[in-house]
Structure 1
Amino acid sequence: MQTSLMVMATTFPVQPQQSSRLSAAAPVVSGPSVTSWRRRGHSASRCLRVQRNSALHSAQARSDHLDTVDGDGLNPCGFHPSIWGDFFLHHSNPADFDEQQAWMLKRTEVLKEEVRSIISRSITPSLHQRLHLIETIERLCLDYLFEEEISIALAEASTADVNDCDLQTVALWFYLLRKHGYRVSSDVFVRFRDEEGRFLAHTPMDLLNLYNAASLRTHGDIVLDEAALFTRKKLETALPSMEGSLAREIKFSLEIPLPRRVSIYDSKDQILKYENEDIVDEAVIQLAKLNSNIMQLHYQRELEIITRWWKDLDIESQFPFARDRIVECFLWMLGVYFEPCYSRGRIILTMVIAIIVLIDDIYDSYGTAEDCKIFTKCMESWDLNAANDLPECMKFALRKIFHSYHIIEDELANAERYRMLYLRNFTLDLVRCFNTEVKMRDDGYVPKSVEEHLQVSLRSGGCHLLSCASLVGMDDIATKDSFDWISSMPKMVTRLCIILRLLDDLQTYEREQKMTLHVASTIHSYMKEHNVSIEIAREKVVELKEETWKDFNAEWLNPENSQPKQILNRIFNLARTMEFFYNKDDNFTNCHNIKDKIHSLFVEPFTIM
């Protein structure tokens, strides 16, 4: 199966085509900052300062009310409602005062200099201490403040002789260097095996570091394949008798290995962990808390903007109980880039994924086969006049999609507007894939192999569109060459798409079995191709996902990649977010699973002494 999938790196031509603009005027947005969205067509009245607990109680009450509505056709998709509604239109952190913000920024600059001094002093201690400091800074989401210092430190570490270092140090060295694109050899782990092939990992921390390092393996890293199996078995055996922060870290890593985790999702937990264990310099902890609060203010403003945009679309009046997931969409896209400088990118990317969810619901739950066919033609022509035979709700969706893309285009500078041509054509490819799946669903067709299945479903997950959309709001680092590269469906993008498809199918398979009509999953196709049970098919799909991650890691390390790391990192981060949102459940559809994470990141600040 691996060989056949390797052949699937076919070129997907999404070349830009000139399109005529709709006559409907979109709000004018003058520049790339969050301020521009607020000041112009998307400006909001001054946020009401309400008590957090009261507002959250109202949000929960909304959820409880919607959950009590019975089936009688009102909720055909069985979606759980989001608890947030328009919460972020009215929520304002008490720290959102000019004077307080000014103090926070001033204090941050002082702490940055202190931490910069700590990094420079770390050149003299042991290699393990230097590496641990870098890992700590990254896990606290402070790395974007010290990119130059970290780059210099890793360049020096890449030439270090690790032949006399212990396993923890070598594993941490390997993990950080591969994470940053260094092609270091896995042969450094050979000496940690005994004559019987067992790894000389004597402590849970040894095992954990080796396990995480092994998650960055590529094809041919035989020693890491064996390390992954060995350490996972040992950690699973040891975990029931462990407790405390190390036990929690092992549990989380067994669910999602550290290289595949999204740093911003874990950052506040890490701050509390390091603070409680008193193993990190106080200046680092204080900077992390202040930085977290400052970023939270950015996110709240952005959430106000996108919540207002979604509310202005008035989706629920036309699609009752459609997935109202705008806050969850924002959390998802926050994983692609968390840094404050990417505000415009986050807003645009959140709008695009919300549109993808809306279109997906249309094809999956609201439109007949004929409706979906007409809807596809309307999208292809980018013309509302072709929508006369559609139900009003689908006409409404078309208007809102076209209008939203105008909003995005107006946020771009004139020299950047060529990007919309790529975005539109990726969107058209997605709806064509959705339409093909509707036909497969209605015909009851099960592709005869996983390879055949992926020829459509590889792109129907929308990751190729998200890859393109992640560049639309970036600065000049995203060039026309970058968009042409994405349009060629390079191996890194195709592997991202496969990872999503397999993760999605693994978590949604059982729910879809309860539906009268549903599209066959890759699990169905594997069962058909190999005549095996569902249990075996699921195991094999999990193995295929791991093999695909090897391909993905290899592309991350590929020296022939012409794109800057800032571009490639968007693709890597998208893959990380997929692991989070499909960890043990479809956490996007079952959004109650992530309400505490949203509250922590977007609502509750740290108390700064």
Structure 2
Amino acid sequence: MSLLDDIRRPSVDYAPSIWGDIFLPFASNSSTEVNESVKQQAQILKEEVKKMFHPPTNQNIKQTLNFIDSIQRLDVFKKLKNEQGNFKEILEKDVQGLCSLYEAGNLRTRGEDILEEACDLAYSRLNSLANNPSLAAQINYCLRRPYNKSIARSEARYHMTLYQQDPSHNNQILLNFAKLDFNILQKLHQREIGALTKYVGMLIVVENSDFVRKVPYARDRLVECYVWPLAIYCEPERSIGRMFIGRVYGVIALLDDTYDAYGTVQELDLFTEAIQRWDISIIASLPKCMKVVFDAIMELFGEMELLTAQSGKSSFVVPHFKQAVCDLIKAYMVEAQWCHEGYIPTYDEYKANGFVTSTGPLCITMLTCLEEFVTEDLLNWISSDPIIIKVVSIIVRVLDDMASHKLEQERVHVASAVECCMKQYNTSQEEAYNHIHKDVEDCWKVINEECLKLNDIPRSLLDFIVNFARISEITYENHLDRFTNGKLWKDYISSLLLVPICIDGENI
């Protein structure tokens, strides 16, 4: 028996992926081909919708605003406008008006007391009306997912259903365009996740070994890993970036599970040093599965260099990418040391490290590295830990912690944000949850404020950053970890990747 066999490791029994090879057929172009006539129809409808931006003079302001609101919620506005968007609010004494007021309130910044009060009032009034069966669905969705905290892609699908059920919305051209656009883009996303599934399958064949057996402690969450970059940006021109970042997220999940659910503190110390120095000889004595993770990281660095070589930017892009990975590894090591020592940091101390373990800085660095607008100055700005990236990352970290807190009490685990908050403020668990929820709301105010101030940062990058917080709101909604427990996310992912929207009773 070897020394490795004598080591007692944490015991985590993650469920297998619920998806299996369901997406593998999509790797074939023929299965995701969009008929040319469908593309032409979408283009014709797009031109018709553009004409609607020049309404007749007898159309009143409410009709115009309802049209603009529909365009935004059906996720076709970005195809018909420039980079800058304008906010317009309508205050009415009905449910629609209250929902609009609540939506406006979610755009508040720090110190906007009147808007804060209006938001609270709208929330309270809508809650009191939610028992009405005819209004419950609309109200509950509004309260759960205000537009500013939602992902446009899933928001669009939901509002297409509402739109066609509401007799006041009778613009069939707009609705059909939104449906066609959604379905055409879904075909591309299917092809991407199919290619990723095929890639992982080929790795298993080449290695002549079951990956799950080689890294037995890791979560198999390829599809869930792809959904995060899909939520951050869904546009056709960012296909390569989505697929690469989906793979990176898969490796990040391996890293997270290696530090959280497998390695001893001594092994992790060596592994951390090996990554910092890019020296595989350091991990010669470590388990084979940790070498597999090391090799996966090295492969990603090589691929990032290839992806950015043609633009001539790899000389400054790759070092920033590597440094972001190193920073994440070091932050994971801090948590591993805390766990080993049984140390519970203060909530503030935990957040200072946790905004890095959220993977926010690394994710945003990756997204930027693959964009045409990337510059060394922009990457330097990201690596300086600007406040918007910090607060977005804190949202991701603490929402994840609140969702996984209960399960983690069943094993040895680093103290979560919940335990750290309880310690710092000497509160109960329930009070800690309330405190963290308020913290999240305050972070959103800072996000709104920074988005108004950062005029020198590309609008696309700001959208990426905010979408990182938005997808976490969906992933960990109601304190449920949908990333780890795939069954909880099945319907949501199916609506994005498997089920097309019917148009006149047919699928394209």
**TM-score for both structures, normalised by structure 2:** 0.90
Q: CA deviation at 1:321?
A: 5.5
Name the structure 2 match of 1:338.
234
Q: Distance in 2 between matches of 1:129 and 1:574?
A: 33
Amino acid at match of 2:347: V
Task: Choose from 292, 295, 299 the match for 2:182.
Answer: 292
Answer yes or no: is the 8 Å Cα contact 1:500–1:575 preserved in 2. Answer: yes
Answer yes or no: is the 8 Å Cα contact 1:123–1:130 preserved in 2. Answer: no
CA-atom RMSD, angstroms?
Answer: 2.3
Task: Choose from 362, 365, 373 the match for 1:468.
Answer: 365
Answer yes or no: is the 8 Å Cα contact 2:218–2:258 preserved in 1. Answer: no
1:456 aligns with 2:349: no
Deviations 1:549-575 (CA, angstroms, capped at 9, x unpaired): 1111111111x5421111111101111
Q: CA deviation at 1:534?
A: 1.4
Q: CA deviation at 1:313?
A: 4.3
Amino acid at match of 1:343: S
Q: Which runs of structure 2 are paired with 1:94-173 in the superposition (5 Å)?
A: 96=31, 100-121=34-55, 125-148=59-82, 169-170=89-90
**Residues 428, 309 of structure 1: alpha-carbon distance in 2 compared, 3 angstrom cutoff:** farther
Q: CA deviation at 1:92?
A: 7.0
Identical-pair percentage: 30
Q: Distance in 1 between matches of 2:149 and 2:495?
A: 21
Q: CA deviation at 1:408?
A: 3.2
Give secondary structure in 1 for the equivalent of 2:319.
helix
Name the structure 1 match of 2:109.
218
Give secondary structure in 2 for the equivalent of 1:241.
coil
Name the structure 2 match of 1:311.
201
Q: Which runs of structure 2 are paired with 1:189-588 in the superposition (5 Å)?
A: 202-243=93-134, 246-278=135-167, 279-314=169-204, 315-320=211-216, 322-414=218-310, 415-417=312-314, 418-447=316-345, 449-474=346-371, 476-515=372-411, 517-558=412-453, 560-584=454-478, 585-588=480-483
Answer yes or no: is the 8 Å Cα contact 1:346–1:473 preserved in 2. Answer: no
Q: Distance in 2 between matches of 1:102 and 1:273?
A: 29
115-124 vs 202-211, which deviates more? 115-124
Answer yes or no: is the 8 Å Cα contact 2:398–2:417 preserved in 1. Answer: yes
Answer yes or no: is the 8 Å Cα contact 1:463–1:496 preserved in 2. Answer: yes
Answer yes or no: is the 8 Å Cα contact 1:144–1:339 preserved in 2. Answer: no
Q: Distance in 1 between matches of 2:471 and 2:344?
A: 29
Name the count of aligned residue pairs.
487
Q: CA deviation at 1:213?
A: 0.8
Deviations 1:338-365 (CA, angstroms, capped at 9, x unpaired): 1111112211221222111110000011
**Residues 147, 261 of structure 1: alpha-carbon distance in 2 compared, 3 angstrom cutoff:** same
**Residues 123, 403 of structure 1: alpha-carbon distance in 2 compared, 3 angstrom cutoff:** farther
Answer yes or no: is the 8 Å Cα contact 2:9–2:263 preserved in 1. Answer: no
Amino acid at match of 2:44: V
357-366 vs 206-215, which deviates more? 206-215
Amino acid at match of 2:61: L
Amino acid at match of 2:19: W
Q: Distance in 2 between matches of 1:440 and 1:75?
A: 15
Answer yes or no: is the 8 Å Cα contact 2:217–2:258 preserved in 1. Answer: no
Name the structure 2 match of 1:63.
none
Q: CA deviation at 1:122?
A: 6.9
Answer yes or no: is the 8 Å Cα contact 1:232–1:254 preserved in 2. Answer: yes
Unaligned runs of 5+ in 2: 1-7, 205-210
348-357 vs 271-280, which deviates more? 271-280
Name the structure 1 match of 2:12.
77
Answer yes or no: is the 8 Å Cα contact 2:27–2:194 preserved in 1. Answer: no
**Residues 421, 536 of structure 1: alpha-carbon distance in 2 compared, 3 angstrom cutoff:** same
Q: CA deviation at 1:265?
A: 1.7
**Residues 95, 124 of structure 1: alpha-carbon distance in 2 compared, 3 angstrom cutoff:** farther
Q: Distance in 2 between matches of 1:124 and 1:377?
A: 70
Deviations 1:163-211 (CA, angstroms, capped at 9, x unpaired): xxxxxx535xxxxxxxxxxxxxxxxxxxxxxxxxxxxx63222221111
**Residues 242, 307 of structure 1: alpha-carbon distance in 2 compared, 3 angstrom cutoff:** same
Q: Distance in 2 between matches of 1:432 and 1:112?
A: 49
**Residues 384, 534 of structure 1: alpha-carbon distance in 2 compared, 3 angstrom cutoff:** same
Answer yes or no: is the 8 Å Cα contact 2:26–2:193 preserved in 1. Answer: no
**Residues 110, 425 of structure 1: alpha-carbon distance in 2 compared, 3 angstrom cutoff:** same
Q: CA deviation at 1:93?
A: 9.3
424-433 vs 262-271, which deviates more? 262-271
Q: Distance in 2 between matches of 1:124 and 1:364?
A: 63
Name the structure 2 match of 1:20.
none
**Residues 312, 405 of structure 1: alpha-carbon distance in 2 compared, 3 angstrom cutoff:** farther
Answer yes or no: is the 8 Å Cα contact 2:364–2:464 preserved in 1. Answer: yes
Answer yes or no: is the 8 Å Cα contact 1:75–1:320 preserved in 2. Answer: no
Q: CA deviation at 1:303?
A: 0.8
Answer yes or no: is the 8 Å Cα contact 2:305–2:318 preserved in 1. Answer: yes
Amino acid at match of 1:342: R
**Residues 130, 478 of structure 1: alpha-carbon distance in 2 compared, 3 angstrom cutoff:** farther
**Residues 323, 263 of structure 1: alpha-carbon distance in 2 compared, 3 angstrom cutoff:** same
Give secondary structure in 2 for the equivalent of 1:518.
coil
Q: Distance in 2 between matches of 1:566 and 1:94?
A: 29
Answer yes or no: is the 8 Å Cα contact 1:464–1:493 preserved in 2. Answer: yes
Answer yes or no: is the 8 Å Cα contact 2:475–2:481 preserved in 1. Answer: yes
Q: CA deviation at 1:428?
A: 0.6
**Residues 130, 544 of structure 1: alpha-carbon distance in 2 compared, 3 angstrom cutoff:** same
Answer yes or no: is the 8 Å Cα contact 2:26–2:32 preserved in 1. Answer: no
Answer yes or no: is the 8 Å Cα contact 1:86–1:311 preserved in 2. Answer: no
**Residues 270, 369 of structure 1: alpha-carbon distance in 2 compared, 3 angstrom cutoff:** same
Deviations 1:342-398 (CA, angstroms, capped at 9, x unpaired): 112211221222111110000011111111111111111122222201100101111
Amino acid at match of 2:187: L
Q: Distance in 2 between matches of 1:96 and 1:392?
A: 38
Amino acid at match of 1:473: L
Give secondary structure in 1 for the equivalent of 2:23.
helix
Amino acid at match of 1:406: G
